[in-house]
């Protein structure tokens, strides 16, 4: 029995329908199974990103602050040198140098100087006038010289105290005064230091110009250093109006001291168009030079007050005893004698008379 064409056509349509139904079933199965898999892939990718973020967190502003720390310039309405630089990286280097080697070695230098002077006094003791006072004096310093000296000396002492307190204050004064107490003192010390600095500069400049003539090095100055400046036993070395040690102090003030003055003025008046690095270098040079001068002044004060009897009298009253002059400045005394300068009797202050105490009268009976 043969199938008719109509029956064959119905069978073909039924086969195609089943085929499409099967394909639809497979597609539905893919959607049911595959769709959740896309979520798992998304979750896995998120977990990977989270783990990466935990290993190396990123900040959207990292590149910005990295550029700032490297000293790159931006845009600012503030006018002045390096006003467009938000963070100057040299500041940290300056802080480490100031609070490290400068403060450490500076403190050791001043302490060692004081220790040497103390040992010298214990071993040598004060140097007396060999033949005692003669009672005759000659003029050594004029009134103008003495006023100039004490004007500069007082300012120097105030500047040294305030400057050292600012340099070592955090280590020494803050534990004693507390943060707020030290902050108040440091503000006052800085104000005093900044205002007295230019006044000291005037005094130092006048002093250098006034006394440069008598501080020219001479041949006998070498012998003064070789003999220890008279601090050793034996004959005192030759010296003119000022000895070699005083000349060394003078030229230290004329060179290092003037450098301290110049750097101090730069710090006082930051309007010279200098960069922050130049200001920081100026501050370091200012501190180093000041510590060197303070160490020299320690020796100057020791020699004038404790080591050599009669030395301070010249800068207080202007006149010195003849025997003192012959012992410590023999060449100057010989020059005065050649010029015919006559010594004058020393003014001796008589002690005030003792009060008169009347004896009580015996009572009459």
Model confidence pLDDT, tens digit, residues 340-349: 989 888 876 6
Q: Residue 317 falls within a domain, yes or no? A: yes
- Tens of pLDDT, residues 125-134: 888 888 888 9
Range of lowest pLDDT (88-97, 190-199, 212-221): 88-97
Q: Residue 84 falls within a domain, yes or no? A: no
Residue 39 is predicted with a pLDDT of: 44
74 against 336, higher pLDDT: 336
Range of lowest pLDDT (43-47, 102-106, 307-311): 43-47
Q: Residue 358 falls within a domain, yes or no? A: no
Distances (CA, A) of 180 to 96, 170, 176, 188: 24, 12, 11, 13
CA 299 – CA 287 distance, rounded (Å): 19
Q: 193 is in which domain, residue-wise?
A: 100-341
Q: Residue 47 falls within a domain, yes or no? A: no
Residue 32 is predicted with a pLDDT of: 44
* Mean pLDDT for the chain overall: 80
* Band (352; pLDDT cuts 50, 70, 90): low
- Tens of pLDDT, residues 122-180: 988 888 888 888 989 999 999 999 999 999 999 999 999 999 999 998 888 888 888 88
Q: Residue 221 falls within a domain, yes or no? A: yes
The CATH number assigned to the domain holding 212 equals 1.20.950.20
Q: Are 276 and 87 in contact (CB under 8 A)?
A: no
Residue 272 is predicted with a pLDDT of: 63
Spatial neighbors of 348 by CB under 8 A, at least 6 apart, are: none
Q: What is the dihedral of CA 170, 174, 179, 181, to 10 degrees?
A: -120
Instruction: For residue 301, give both structure tokens.
Output: 């004060």
Domain count of the fold of the chain = 1
Q: Residue 356 falls within a domain, yes or no? A: no
Q: Residue 18 falls within a domain, yes or no? A: no
Q: Residue 118 falls within a domain, yes or no? A: yes
Residue 257 is predicted with a pLDDT of: 96
């Amino acid at each position: 029995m043969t199938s008719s064409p109509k029956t064959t056509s119905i069978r073909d349509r039924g086969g195609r329908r089943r085929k499409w139904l099967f394909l639809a079933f497979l597609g539905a199965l893919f959607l049911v199974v595959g769709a959740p898999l896309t979520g798992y892939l998304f979750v896995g990718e998120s977990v990977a990103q989270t783990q990466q973020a935990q290993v190396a967190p990123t900040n959207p502003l990292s590149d910005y602050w990295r550029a700032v720390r490297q000293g790159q310039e931006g845009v600012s309405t503030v006018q002045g040198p390096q006003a467009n630089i938000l963070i100057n990286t040299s500041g940290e280097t300056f802080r480490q140098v100031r609070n490290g080697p400068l403060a450490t070695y500076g403190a050791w230098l001043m302490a060692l100087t004081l220790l040497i002077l103390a040992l010298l006094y214990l071993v040598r003791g004060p140097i007396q006038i060999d033949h005692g006072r003669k009672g005759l004096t000659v003029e050594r310093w004029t009134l103008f010289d003495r006023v100039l000296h004490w004007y500069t000396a007082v300012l120097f002492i105030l500047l040294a105290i305030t400057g050292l307190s600012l340099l070592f204050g955090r280590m020494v004064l803050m534990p004693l005064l507390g943060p707020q107490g030290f902050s108040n003192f440091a503000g006052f010390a800085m104000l005093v230091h900044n205002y007295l600095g230019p006044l000291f500069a005037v005094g130092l400049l006048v002093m250098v110009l006034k006394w440069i003539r008598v501080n020219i090095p001479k041949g006998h100055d070498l012998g003064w250093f070789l003999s220890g400046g008279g601090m050793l036993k034996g004959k005192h070395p030759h010296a003119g109006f000022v000895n070699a040690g005083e000349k060394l102090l003078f030229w230290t003030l004329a060179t290092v001291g003037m450098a301290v003055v110049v750097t101090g003025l730069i710090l006082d008046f930051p309007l010279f168009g200098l960069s922050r690095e130049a200001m920081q270098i100026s501050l370091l040079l200012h501190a180093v030079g000041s510590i060197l001068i303070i160490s020299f002044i320690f020796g100057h004060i020791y020699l004038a007050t404790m080591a050599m009897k009669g030395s301070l009298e010249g800068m207080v009253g202007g006149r010195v005893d003849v025997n003192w002059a012959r012992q410590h400045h023999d060449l100057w005394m010989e020059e005065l004698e050649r010029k015919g300068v006559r010594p004058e009797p020393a003014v001796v202050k008589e002690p005030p008379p003792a009060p008169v105490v009347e004896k009580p009268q015996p009572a009459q009976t």
